[in-house]
Structure 1
Amino acid sequence: TKVFPPLLLKLLFIQFRGVVEEVLPALREQSVSVFVLGQEEQEEGGARVEGVKTLSRGKIQQASDQPLDPQLRSKATIKSPTLYIYTSGTTGLPKAAVINHERMTLAGSMQAFAGVTRDDVIYIYLPLYHTAGFVMGLVGAIERGNTVILRRKFSASQFWDDCRKYDVTVIQYIGEIMRYLCNTPKKDNDRQHKVRLAVGNGIRADTWSEFLERFGDIRICECYGATEGNVGFVNYIGKVGAIGRENFIHTVGNPYALIQYDTEREEPVRDSRGFCVKVPKGETGLLVAKISSRAPFSGYAKSPQQTERKKLKDVFVKGDQYFNSGDLLRIDNEGFVYFMDRIGDTFRWKGENVATTEVSDNLLMVECIEEANVYGVKVPGHEGRIGMAALTLKDNMEFDSKATYEHVKTSLPSYSRPRFIRIQNSLDVTGTFKMMKVKLVNEGFNPSVIRDRLFYLEDKEGYIPMTQEIYSSITDGKLRL
Structure 2
Amino acid sequence: MLPSWLTGLGAGMVCLHVLQKLLFPYFWNDFWYLLKVVRYGIRLEMFRVRGEIFTVLDKFLSLAKKQPHKPFIVYEGDIYTYQDVDKMSSRVANVFLNHSTLKKGDTVAMLMSNEPDFVHVWFGLAKLGCVVAFLNSNIRSNCLLHCICSCEPRALVVGSDLLEAIEEILQSLPEDITVWGMKDSVPQGVMSLKEKLSTASDQPVPHRHHVASSLKSKYLYIFTSGTTGLPKAAVITQLQSLRGSAGLWAFGCTADDIIYITLPLYHSSGSLLGIGGCIELGATCVLKKKFSASQFWNDCKKYNVTVFQYIGELCRYLCKQPKKEGEKDHQVRLAIGNGLRSDVWTEFLDRFGNIKMCEFYGATEGNICFMNHTGKIGSVGRTNFFYKLFFAFDLIKYNLQKDEPIRNEKGWCSSVKKGEPGLLIARVSAKNPFFGYAGHKKFTEKKLLYDVFKKGDIYFNTGDLMVQDQNFLYFWDRIGDTFRWKGENVATTEAADVIGMLDFIQETNVYGVAVQGYEGKAGMASIILKPNKSLDLDKVYDHVVTFLPGYACPRFLRIQEKMETTGTFKLPKFQLAEEGFNLLKISDPLYFMDNLKKSYVPLTKELYDQIILGEIKL
Q: Check if 1:309 corresponds to 2:446.
A: yes
TM-score by length of 1: 0.71
Which of 59, 70, 88 matches 2:197?
59
Identify the residue that residue 161 of structure 1 maps to in structure 2. 298
Written as runs of structure 1 = structure 2, the 5 A alignment for 1:20-419 is: 21-22=170-171, 24-25=173-174, 27-28=176-177, 34-39=179-184, 42=185, 49=189, 52-56=191-195, 59=197, 62-66=200-204, 68-74=205-211, 76-88=213-225, 92-332=229-469, 334-344=470-480, 360=515, 363-364=516-517, 373=522, 380=563, 384-386=574-576, 387-389=578-580
Q: Which has the higher helix share?
A: 2
Partner deviation per Cα, 1:418-446 (whole Å, 9 max, x = no partner): 9998654479xxxxxxxxxxxxxxxxxxx
Q: For the residues of structure 1 that align with 2:172 and 2:435, how far apart are their CA atoms?
A: 25
* Alignment CA distance shift 1:426-1:98 (3 Å): farther
* Alignment CA distance shift 1:145-1:204 (3 Å): same
Alignment check: 8 A CA contact 1:376 1:388 kept? no
Alignment check: 8 A CA contact 2:447 2:462 kept? yes
Alignment check: 8 A CA contact 1:376 1:385 kept? no
Identify the residue that residue 603 of structure 2 maps to in structure 1. 453
Q: Which letter does structure 1 place at the counterpart of 2:409?
A: S
* Alignment CA distance shift 1:90-1:188 (3 Å): farther
3-state secondary structure, aligned to 1:25: coil
Q: Which letter does structure 2 place at the counterpart of 1:15?
A: E
Alignment check: 8 A CA contact 1:388 1:419 kept? no
Q: CA deviation at 1:320?
A: 1.0
Q: For the residues of structure 2 that align with 1:223 and 1:320, how far apart are their CA atoms?
A: 27
Q: For the residues of structure 1 that align with 2:208 and 2:519, how far apart are their CA atoms?
A: 56
* Alignment CA distance shift 1:55-1:184 (3 Å): same
Q: CA deviation at 1:151?
A: 0.9
Q: CA deviation at 1:339?
A: 0.2
Alignment check: 8 A CA contact 1:374 1:389 kept? no
Q: Which letter does structure 1 place at the counterpart of 2:603?
A: R
3-state secondary structure, aligned to 1:451: strand
Q: For the residues of structure 2 that align with 1:346 and 1:128, how far apart are their CA atoms?
A: 22
Q: Give the total of aligned pairs.
A: 383
Q: Which letter does structure 1 place at the counterpart of 2:300?
A: C
* Alignment CA distance shift 1:375-1:346 (3 Å): farther
Q: CA deviation at 1:71?
A: 2.1
Q: For the residues of structure 1 that align with 2:244 and 2:443, how far apart are their CA atoms?
A: 23
Alignment check: 8 A CA contact 1:424 1:452 kept? no
Q: Which runs of 5+ in 2 are unaligned?
A: 1-74, 79-157, 484-510, 527-559, 565-570, 611-618
Alignment check: 8 A CA contact 2:425 2:462 kept? yes
Alignment check: 8 A CA contact 2:216 2:238 kept? yes
* Alignment CA distance shift 1:425-1:122 (3 Å): farther
| Greater Cα shift, 374-383 or 78-87 | 374-383
Q: For the residues of structure 2 that align with 1:102 and 1:454, how far apart are their CA atoms?
A: 53
3-state secondary structure, aligned to 1:55: helix
Q: CA deviation at 1:344?
A: 2.9
Q: For the residues of structure 2 that align with 1:10 and 1:74, how far apart are their CA atoms?
A: 27
Q: CA deviation at 1:49?
A: 2.9
Q: For the residues of structure 2 that align with 1:93 and 1:166, how far apart are their CA atoms?
A: 39
Alignment check: 8 A CA contact 1:122 1:149 kept? yes
Alignment check: 8 A CA contact 1:373 1:389 kept? no
Partner deviation per Cα, 1:291-321 (whole Å, 9 max, x = no partner): 1111111111113111110000000111111
Partner deviation per Cα, 1:394-424 (whole Å, 9 max, x = no partner): xxxxxxx9xxx8xxxxxxxxxxx89998654
Alignment check: 8 A CA contact 1:423 1:454 kept? no
* Alignment CA distance shift 1:187-1:10 (3 Å): closer
* Alignment CA distance shift 1:179-1:376 (3 Å): same
Q: Which runs of 5+ in 1 are unaligned?
A: 4-8, 348-354, 392-400, 406-416, 428-448, 457-461, 465-481
Query: Root-mean-square deviation (CA), in Å?
Result: 3.7
